[in-house]
Amino acid sequence: MSPPQTQNNKDSLKDHIVKTSHLTAIVCSTCGRTFSIVEIHTFCPDCQSTLIAKYDLESIRKETDRDEIRRRPKGMWRWHEILPVQNIKNIVSLGEGDTPLLPLSRIGHELGLSHLFIKDESNNPTGSFKARGLCAAISRAKELGINKVIIPTAGNAGGAMAAYAARAGGMQALIYMPKDTPNANIQESRITGAEVILVDGLIGDAGRMAGIRAANEGWFDLSTFKEPYRVEGKKIMGYELAEVFDWTLPDVILYPTGGGTGLVGMWKAFAEMEALGWLNEEKRPRMVSVQAKGCAPIPKAFQAGASFCDVWQGAETVASGLRVPKSFADRIILSNIRESNGTAFAVSDEALMQAQKTLAAQEGIFAAPEGAACLAALEELIKHKWVKPDEKIVIFNTGSGLKYLDTVIN
Ligand SMILES: *Cc1c(COP(=O)(O)O)cnc(C)c1O
Ligand SMILES: [Zn+2]
C-alpha cells in the first residue's frame, strides 16, 4: 500500500509520529566545542566554524525500523527521528521531500551508461531543493522562539525562506540579493511578504550587508552554514537515495555546488546511516562537485590540493545558485570530496545551457541551469574515463528551469 502523494498536513503526520527528534547536541565541526540544543546557535564563537547537529543514533538504531519509515506519509518529516525539531507542532511544512528518482535511459544510452538517474528536486515547494533546508531551519527557528529571519541569497534560498516564514505565521523575513538575481526569485519573495533589498554586487556583498543589519536589529541570520539546521533538511536527500536503492548507495553522485549544503548534508547522512546499521553495504559514492567556469572556487582548490578556497574574483554564470565565490564551509566540502575519492569539475555556461536543452528535449525535464551543469560535467567525466559504463550514477537537478526563463536560449 503506498501512501498518498500529496499529504503532509499536520494531522496525518501526527498520527504517525510516535517519537520525535533524537537530537542530542550541537557540535563545532572544527574545535569540537559542544552546545545545548535548547539554545539558539549560529556558528562557533571560538573558531568561527560551522556547527553540526548530533543525534543519539544508538537509540534510533534500537527503536526505529528503517522499513517502517517507508510506510509513513510521504515527505521529509517521515525522517523526524534524525531531524532537529523537538515538538511536531513546530513543523512548518509545504510538502517538501520525496522527490522522484528518474532513470535517464535515453541520455544514458547515448552516453553509453546503463544506470543513469536524475534526482529531480524541482518538485519541491518553491521549485528548488532550497525548500528542504529552509523548511528545517524555519521549523527550528519557530521552535526556538525566533520571529525575525534574514538571508543573503543568490536566489532560491530567499524564495524558500520567504515561503516558510509566511507559512510559519508571525515571522518577519528580510532578504538581500544581488540585483541581477532571476526575477522569479525577487517576485516569489515579495509576494510571500518578505522585504527584498537588491544589492549592487555579489552574494558576498549581500552577506556583509545582511550581517550588519542582523547584528544591529536582532534578525536571525539563515546564511548557508552559519546556522546548524539547513544542512539537516538537505541531508534527507541522502536517506531518500539509500531507500530507493534498497539501502545501498550509488557509485557516483554529481552535485551542483554553491554553498555546498547538499553535498555536505548527504555525506553526513551516509555516515549516520552507517552508524544506524541501515546500509546493506558500506560503500559510499564518489562525490563530484560541479561548478561553472565563471565561478569555480571548489574545482580550483581541489586541483591545487588546497584545503580551503580563495575568494573567486568576478564571479559570473547564468547558474545563479552556483555564483558563490567562497563557501563558508569550503574546508568541509573539500574534505568530503577527497574522502569520497571524488572530484570537482567546472563547465562553461555554453555547455550547461546545451545540457539544459538535451535534458528537456530528450527526457522532458526542464532543469535549472545548475542541475543541467551536472549533465555537462558528466559528459566530460566520461571522456576522461572517470566513470565506468555500468556504474550507478545520480545527477541532481536542484531546481526548476521555470524559475530562469530570462536566461533560457531557444
Ligand atoms: C542554491 C542552489 C544550488 C547550490 O546548492 P548548495 O547546497 O548551496 O551548494 C544549486 N542549484 C540550485 C537551483 C540552487 O538554488
Ligand atoms: Zn569551534
**pLDDT of res. 203:** 86
Q: By alpha-carbon position, which residue is closest to atom 8 of ligand 1?
A: 259
Instruction: Fill in the amino acid letter for 88.
Output: I
Q: Give the number of whichever ligand sits closest to the CA of residue 369.
A: 1
Give counts: helices (H), strands (E), the chain. 14, 13
At residue 20 the predicted structure's pLDDT band, cuts being 50, 70 and 90, is: confident
Nearest CA to ligand 1 atom 2: 321
CB of 224 closer than 6 angstroms to any ligand 1 atom = yes
pLDDT for res 350: 97
Cβ of residue 7 lying under 6 Å from some atom of ligand 1: no
| Ligand 1 atom closest to the CA of 155, numbered from 1 | 15
Cβ(261) – ligand 1 distance below 6 Å: yes
127 touches ligand 1 (CB under 6 Å): no
pLDDT of residue 14: 53
Choose the residue to mutate in 156, 309, 324, 332 for probing ligand 1, maximizing ligand atoms within 8 Å of C-beta.
156
pLDDT, position 15: 54
33 pLDDT more than 90 = yes
Q: Is the CB of 189 under 6 A from ligand 1?
A: no
User: Percent of the chain having pLDDT more than 70?
Assistant: 95
Q: Which residues pair with 173 in a beta bridge?
A: 149
- In this predicted structure, the answer to whether residue 270 has a pLDDT above a threshold of 90 is yes
Cβ–ligand 1 contact at 64 (below 6 Å)? no
The mean predicted confidence, pLDDT, of the chain is: 94
Residue nearest to atom 3 of ligand 1 (CA): 321
> 154: burial class by Cβ within 10 Å (0-12, 13-18, 19+)?
buried
Q: What strands lie across the sheet with 51-55, from one edge to the other?
A: 34-35, 23-28, 51-55
Local structure of 148: helix, strand or coil: strand
Q: What is the pLDDT of residue 13?
A: 53
Residue pair 143/87 in contact by the 8 Å Cβ criterion: yes
* Nearest to 29, CA basis, from 252, 269, 227: 227
pLDDT at 87 over 50: yes
Q: Which atom of ligand 1 is nearest to the CA of 156?
A: 15
Instruction: Give the Å distance between the CA of 330 and the centre of ligand 2.
Output: 15
- For residue 156 and ligand 1, the question of a CB distance below 6 A is answered with yes
Kindly give the distance from the C-alpha atom of residue 48 to the centroid of ligand 2, in angstroms, as a whole number. Answer: 6
Q: Which segments of 327-386 are extended strands (E)? A: 343-347
Report the b/e string of 17-44 with b at 16+ CB within 10 A.
beebbbbeebbbbbeeeebebeeebbbb
Mean pLDDT for the stretch of residues 296-317: 97
Nearest to 124 by CA among 162, 91, 160: 160
Query: How large is the average pLDDT for residues 161-174?
Result: 97
Q: Which atom of ligand 1 is nearest to the CA of 259?
A: 8
**pLDDT (0 to 100) of residue 131:** 98
Residue range 345-372: mean pLDDT, rounded: 98
| CA 310 – ligand 2 centroid, Å | 21
Question: In a mutational test of the pocket of ligand 1, which residue from 366, 370, 374, 375 has the highest number of ligand atoms less than 8 Å from its CB?
Answer: 370
pLDDT band at residue 108 using 50, 70 and 90 as cut-offs: very high
Contacts of residue 195, Cβ cutoff 8 Å, sequence gap at least 6:
172, 173, 174, 175
Judged by DSSP in three states, 296 sits in: coil
Distance CA 119, CA 325 (A): 26
Q: What is the pLDDT of residues 194-224, one digit of tens each?
A: 999 999 988 889 999 999 999 999 999 999 9
Residue 287's H or E segment, with its range, is strand 286-292
Which helix (DSSP H) or strand (DSSP E) does residue 275 occupy? helix 261-276
Find the 44 Cα to ligand 2 centroid distance in Å: 5
The answer to whether residue 65 scores a pLDDT higher than 70 is yes
Is 88's pLDDT higher than 50? yes
Q: How far is the CA of 257 from the centre of ligand 1 (A)?
A: 6
Q: C-alpha cell of 375?
A: 549533465
Span from the CA of 315 to the centroid of ligand 2 (angstroms):
29
